Structure 1
Amino acid sequence: MLVGHKEKIKIFGELFRSDVLSHGYIFFGEEQVGKKSFALAFANFLEKGKFENPDGILSETKLITPEEGSIGIDTAKEAKRFLSQKPILSKRRVLIIDDAHKLTSQAQNAILKISEEPPQSSLIIVVSPTLDSLLPTLTSRLQRIYFPRVKTEEIEKLLRARGVESAEASRVAKAALGRPGRAIDTIENDEFRRFNRLVKDFIKSPSSRKDVLQSLIKENDDLKNRDLIDIFVSHIMAELALDPLKNNRTLSALCDRFTKMSDFTTNRRLQLETALWNL
């Protein structure tokens, strides 16, 4: 079920019917507001005529996601081969690149070259939380579409449709802060709920913070996946944002530090401790 962004559904439907679609778009905005879901629903619309999440395989769509934390040049080359083939079931072959901020510089340049001379029947949709992590030359070649947060009542409606009791749906929808993906994770994702509990304990019990940080860093290193740290900080920021007036100063400091964390590859332990120690 596609949640929110009704005006965009109308606009993209009209662009298709008028045959004036661009060769490529960048869908950007906060995490979990529905950018990838919208891209997949639009691909489903192009192939099957229904602007909704696909319930099966889309033959004319290729979804690219990071592997081991990045999207490399080989994947970009595969995308080029995919787009070079003519569609059979749709007017367009659709390439969706999710978490495009994790494209390597080589891969970004490869996508840039495709966008400079796109196959006539191709459509590229780049999905990213921000524009800053993408090459300016790439962002200039694609039309930029901003996705804002979704209304709380629409998220609540989604949760009730999934069988969540009304009071719980209302609570979860409010805590989601306009991000339907976060609401769904809250009710369905065990790992997400584990992080929620971890964050609540971390905020309430300063004496346990050192142990929590050390455990998290060890788990992160064992998995060879830095995303656990990003997830943890994101959960903390979301929890503090439930009371933005009270936590405004802390949120501002965390936002600044979290941005700097993405620029560090070696001293990440120090960056994490600096960001979280004085909550």
Structure 2
Amino acid sequence: MMEEAHILVHKKNCGFLENILKNNSLGHAYLFIGPKGVGKRTVALWFAKKILREENIEKSQNFCQILDEKSIKIEEVRKLRHSLSLKNPFGRRRVIVIDDAASLTPEAQNAFLKIFEEPAKDVTYILLTNNVSRVLPTVLSRAQRVRFTQGDRKQIFNNLIEKGLEREDAMQIALFSRGCLREAERLSENLGEFVDRKNFLREVLSIFKKEYFLRFNFIKKILDQERNIPDFLTDFDGLIKDILSLKLGREDDVANRFLMDEMKSFGHSFSKEKLVEFLKFSGELRSLLLKNVNSKLALEKLMLMV
């Protein structure tokens, strides 16, 4: 069901990939680029099945998937290199899916390049990333890029209705998920969490109108609750993008419509240029967090800026 839904949402990309196979023009490597949860992995597995002409690829000797668990370590790449060095007893093409091409450790990157730069003719790589700026230049130059944008909100809405959701809930979740079907599916199964997320976003928006000591208390609460900081920044970015859309007269692009009045009020206090500056600064904070900068200090910088 999930695979079929993603194919419908990303039918343009899937049609492009199917044409590659029909025209016998399969390449050495493909880089799927797009937001987290948009459906890259599901489409990658679907494409692998098409390439191998197998349904149960997880048990296939011709398939390997390296999953991202915060970072992909050199041991996993060494195992892959050893596997590829062996003659394929099945005499068929092999497909390698790497869940996050940007999460290779420095040691793993060097090991991976040794096998990637000398491609075997019977191996196809499908690499996924939500941060193309952190992908190795060699991969960028040799892989064909396939960009995944936000899915069709109407299609996601219809999918949620088919699952039995009430129309109002389905509409709000389709908007809130910003075209990410996996996130929409997850929230539809956890409506209590969806309500909590909406309340949290309302609190995020209101906190920037308060005194600095209250903002810092809010940061402490976030850290005490062990909230995922990158997820918090994603929510913050979403709010700022919505406010920008309102200032530009693009109300149809707004995801957090339940906060329409609050966002309009917030937007009156800042220029479009300042809002863009917030987004840029949020991106810089993400980079700092990847370098293990103290989360509390990073978030306090954000609170001082707004």
Please state which band the TM-score falls in when normalised by the shorter chain: 0.7 to 0.9
* 1:5 aligns to 2:10 (yes or no): yes
Displacement of 1:218 in angstroms is 4.1
TM-score (norm 1): 0.82
Instruction: Tell me the residue number matched to 1:273.
Output: 300
Do the aligned partners of 1:23 and 1:115 also contact (CA within 8 Å) in 2?
no
Instruction: Tell me the residue number matched to 2:237.
Output: 237
Cα distance change, pair 63–109 in 1 and its aligned pair in 2 (3 A): same
Instruction: Tell me the residue number matched to 2:49.
Output: 44
Do the aligned partners of 1:63 and 1:96 also contact (CA within 8 Å) in 2?
yes
**Worse-matched range after superposition: 136-145 or 236-245:** 236-245
Give SS of 1:132's match.
helix
1-side partners of 2:294 and 2:73: how far apart?
24
* 1:79 aligns to 2:84 (yes or no): no
Displacement of 1:278 in angstroms is 5.3
2-side partners of 1:257 and 1:165: how far apart?
38
Give SS of 1:272's match.
helix
Displacement of 1:277 in angstroms is 4.8
CA-to-aligned-CA distance 1:113-133 (integer Å, 9 cap, x gap): 222122332211111113210
Displacement of 1:91 in angstroms is 4.3
2:277 to 240, 253, 257: 253
- Which runs of structure 2 are paired with 1:74-153 in the superposition (5 Å)? 74-84=75-85, 86=88, 88=90, 91-153=92-154
Instruction: Tell me the residue number matched to 2:65.
Output: 63
Unmatched tracts of structure 2, length 5 or more: 248-263
Instruction: Tell me the residue number matched to 1:212.
Output: 218
Give aligned pairs, total: 267
1-side partners of 2:179 and 2:101: how far apart?
22
Instruction: Tell me the residue number matched to 2:261.
Output: none
Do the aligned partners of 2:156 and 2:181 also contact (CA within 8 Å) in 1?
yes
What amino acid is aligned across from residue 233 of structure 1 in structure 2? L
What amino acid is aligned across from residue 182 of structure 1 in structure 2? E
Displacement of 1:170 in angstroms is 1.8
* 1:23 aligns to 2:28 (yes or no): yes
- Which runs of structure 2 are paired with 1:146-185 in the superposition (5 Å)? 146-185=147-186
What amino acid is aligned across from residue 284 of structure 2 in structure 1? K
Over the matched positions of the two proteins, sequence identity in percent amounts to 27
Q: Which has the larger radius of gyration?
A: 2
2-side partners of 1:161 and 1:124: how far apart?
35
**Worse-matched range after superposition: 192-201 or 255-264:** 192-201
Do the aligned partners of 1:98 and 1:127 also contact (CA within 8 Å) in 2?
yes
Displacement of 1:83 in angstroms is 3.9
Do the aligned partners of 1:84 and 1:119 also contact (CA within 8 Å) in 2?
no
Higher helix share: 2
Displacement of 1:24 in angstroms is 0.8
Cα distance change, pair 16–169 in 1 and its aligned pair in 2 (3 A): same
Do the aligned partners of 1:63 and 1:97 also contact (CA within 8 Å) in 2?
yes
Cα distance change, pair 18–199 in 1 and its aligned pair in 2 (3 A): same
Do the aligned partners of 1:27 and 1:128 also contact (CA within 8 Å) in 2?
yes
2-side partners of 1:191 and 1:64: how far apart?
33
Displacement of 1:27 in angstroms is 0.8
